[in-house]
Amino acid sequence: MNQKFIVWLRAIRFRFLAASALSVTCGLSLTVWNNFQEFSIVNAILVYAGIFCLHCSVDLLNDYFDFKRGIDLKTLRTRFSGGTGVLPEGLLTPKAVYRASIIFLILGLGIGGYFVYTKGFVIGIILTFAALSILLYSTKLVNLGLGEVFVGTKGMLIVIGTYFVQTSAITLEATLLGIIAGLLSSLVLYINSIPDIKADKEGGRKTLAILLESKSDRLNYGFLIILFLVIYSVALVFFGGILHNFIPVLLCFILIPQTLSIVMDYQKFIYRFNRDNLEEFVKIMNKTVLFSRTFALILIIGILIATFFKM
């Protein structure tokens, strides 16, 4: 494989596109549950393409501005944090990364514009939020502790937007499913931003991890527990109260041991281990990403199970 191509895959954080892919798939699976006759393969492909472009755009812009502010020159890079490293290592130029981010943004907005034309103003509202958030994420939102809010809202709107493109409707079930997808993305971002606290502070950022760290360890730890509780609670309401099928809930409970493992490891990190012990925290990040992806897959499988019983 061409080395330059591999570098670009690294720059767009190709592995993390899975989060957006799973959110789109959640919306599509809910369409199947609602009415398979409304499902459009062409629109599904276009949504995947558009969301991937917008995702790549925000990640490239984030790398560009973090490099310009000197943040990525101070972080200790891991598989999950510290930026992609393509700019500090000189593998790509800042100009090339910035140009690529704008190209991806234009492509994503172009596909979104098609849906505004065919589906109406609701998609226009979602698209406007996406465009403003992408442009402001790395320069404004992360400076105000709103990074997790943006990512969570983005995940929710991907599900709602995908469902709307297929059905021309916004429903309670799509909203609840979107909330779960958004919370899963926020969870990953929050955990993955913790190793970068020092560098982010020096670079002028004010992430949620920084805000909570400045308060107390108890608040920091409690926030993680609450986040997990809300994810499970909304999933319970979604499957039991809306889809009226508790089999998927049982599938979600399979992940409780994984959840407890993350929570206990995080407690040890906060109260016992050296905060600079990055090797220990990489294990927590790995478990969190795995939990998020697996939970999203269970959502999709659960919806398909509920669809089968609905027939």
pLDDT (tens digit per residue) in 218-271: 888 889 999 999 999 999 999 998 888 888 888 888 999 999 999 999 888 877
pLDDT for position 221:
85
> Which pTM was predicted?
0.91
Confidence band of 177 (pLDDT split at 50, 70, 90): very high
* pLDDT over 60 (residue 1): no
Report yes or no: 84 and 15 within 8 Å, Cβ to Cβ. Answer: no
Report yes or no: 192 and 158 within 8 Å, Cβ to Cβ. Answer: no
pLDDT for position 159:
95
Report yes or no: 295 and 287 within 8 Å, Cβ to Cβ. Answer: no
Alpha helices by DSSP H, the chain: 3-11, 17-35, 41-68, 94-119, 121-137, 147-167, 172-193, 197-202, 208-213, 217-236, 247-253, 256-271, 278-310
State mean pLDDT over 276-296.
88
pLDDT tens digits, one per residue of 74-127: 776 777 776 788 888 888 999 999 999 999 999 999 999 999 999 998 899 988
Confidence band of 275 (pLDDT split at 50, 70, 90): low
pLDDT for position 118:
94
Confidence band of 212 (pLDDT split at 50, 70, 90): confident
Single-letter amino acid, residue 21? A
Mean pLDDT score of the chain: 88
Task: Give the residue numbers spanning the domain of 195.
Answer: 3-310
pLDDT for position 100:
95
Q: How far apart are CA 228 and CA 260, in angstroms?
A: 10
Helix, strand, or coil here: 139? coil
109's CB contacts (< 8 A; 6+ apart) are 54, 127, 130, 131
Q: How far apart are CA 262 and CA 139, in angstroms?
A: 31
Count how many domains the chain has. 1
